[in-house]
Structure 1
Amino acid sequence: MATAKVGRAKLGSQGLEVSAQGLGCMGMSAFYGPPKPESDMIKLIHHAIDSGITLLDTSDVYGSHTNETLLGKALKDGVRERVELATKFGIDYTDGKRDIRGDPAYVRAACEGSLKRLGVDCIDLYYQHRIDTKVPIEVTIGELKKLVEEGKVKYIGLSEASASTIRRAHAVHPITAVQLEWSLWSRDGEADIIPTCRGTWDRIVAYSPLGRGFFSFGPKIVETLSNDDFRKNLPRFQPENMEHNQRLYDRVNEIAAKKGCTPSQLALAWVHNQGDDVCPIPGTTKVENFNQNVGALSIKLTPEEMCELESIAKADSVKGDRYGGVLVTHDESETPPLSSWKH
């Protein structure tokens, strides 16, 4: 059992309360190599809940629905009442072709599908996973608002949304959480996304706070990736970039040694120490790694230590884009004006 106290935190201003750290479930079923044994992942999920983690994060696109089905099985027999369940819609792989969708008919159909797979009557936090730049954000949020009114969704979130998209969404319905990649090697959201969230009282949910495993294993992670692990194709994980990025890992490792913790715990603690309005959702498939992640909650960093970490994790400290054009990010998520919508 993890020994650190997880604690509780408020998401947004609408009343949602979750654990101070969540559990990202994607890697259990997809993208980070082959799916992991279902029974082992259910045990891990139950261990996380027993340790005080209540925010579970999934998406309909993880494993093409299989991760939601996994969580549905894990949340039976009284477990559902102990968690806050977050899932997402917006990345459609119908007929094997990827499309980003936010039209009302798709939003509703996606929600109904997630409810069925998860085996629940209501989704606690429902994110638009990626922003459909063909549909005004007001239209998408308008349909989500209807789902809230119908009792199928409690709270609305956005993922990889631009600052203006967040503000426009808020004008239709309060946004409880904005999810973005935030870590010592992904700090581009600090310029305008995070200040916008703080101005609109959104909670910031940080995904990949360990740099997709980089701060857990360092550059040697590349040697462990299976052929079907999508990180093999990401720019930052290419050999020519990883050689440069090793310098950041080495410096973090040095500071962690002085602090008496692991590099991954230090990197995760840096995210936690950004403020009470930040909830990281590190993912893992191993109990021992989960326990280590929870241990980061007890690591307090001084202002001097925060400055030292930030000084070695500047923009030029990391080589390679986050996605390399594989997926739309907040930089490319502007939607057309509502007046253009003809449907």
Structure 2
Amino acid sequence: MNAVTQDAQQHAAQRPAFPFAALIGQASLQQALLLAAIDPGLGGVLVSGPRGTAKSTAARALAELLPEGQLVNLPLGASEDRLIGTLDIETVLRDGAVRFSPGLLAKAHRGVLYVDEVNLLPDALVDALLDAAASGVNTVERDGVSHSHEASFVLIGTMNPEEGELRPQLIDRFGLMVELQNCFEPRVREEIVKARLAFDLDPSGFRAGYAGQQAQYVERIHAARNALPQLSFDDAVHAHVSALCIDAAVDGLRADLVMLRAARALAAFEQAEAVSSQHVERVAEAVLVHRRHHRETSSAGDVRDSQSEAVAGDLPQRSAVSRSANAAGDCDWGYLPPEPTATAHVKGVIPLSVKKR
């Protein structure tokens, strides 16, 4: 890394973040990010949308609300060692002690790990990211030597669908997904532009106007994290989650687990006494939007099968009707009456004489 790149990163780190409370027209994104902040074990948030829809702005804004306030960027060209860390095998062999050089996962602990254009990241790195995000632990193994450390962070991956999609087995492992769209409402666009111009003109003054709301977010996230273990799910909530996931024809049970945890995080954030079906409804779309399958093919197959069974069961009846119709000289359903065919005379074949031995 050259000096120019280092200076640019330091400048970006020192630049004040746009307040999370000042985001406009991003209610679904704000909810998903808050849920992931309350329960990082959800597996992160995938944000899909065109350029200029405040994806990176929201990620930086969320990091400021977390205990460490740390935002770690994962560049596309990063190696696996830089992400998960490395073990000095020579030190292990010589001194018998594990010498671990931490990577970006360790640096992101209790903060936000942000990956821009995650759909362009190598699959091996995406696997490592998602494993650590879901488990909260990073394990590095080299030549039979392993080292583990805590890695509880909020994973935020952004992507522009015009540049390619994630593989299905990878996109399913993101806990939540939000699809952003361009805003075409004049009033909302004006509010967004005015807020951004005001922030760029006077960042400190703009942030001061939202200081109270920001502090409330920090307190509510902290309280919600503490309340999670006390919230449970009754049978009605379980049944509602199962029905939604079955109707969406999801693969496996990951969607059920994520939906329950997301509903619990929402209930904790709102200081509810129990998780309800209303909480499930409000998080369902973010859980199912990237896991939903259409069952048109299977439905068409069922229709064909039922039609075949009906035809098979109706064959004797149709045969009887066709026979009566043929007898009357009127055929139905495409059946043709028997027709006599002429015979042709075949000349006799002269047998060959048997050769004498």
Greater RCO (CA < 8 Å, at least 6 residues apart):
1
TM-score with structure 1 setting the length? 0.28
User: Larger Cα Rg: Structure 1 or Structure 2?
Assistant: 2
TM-score with structure 2 setting the length? 0.28
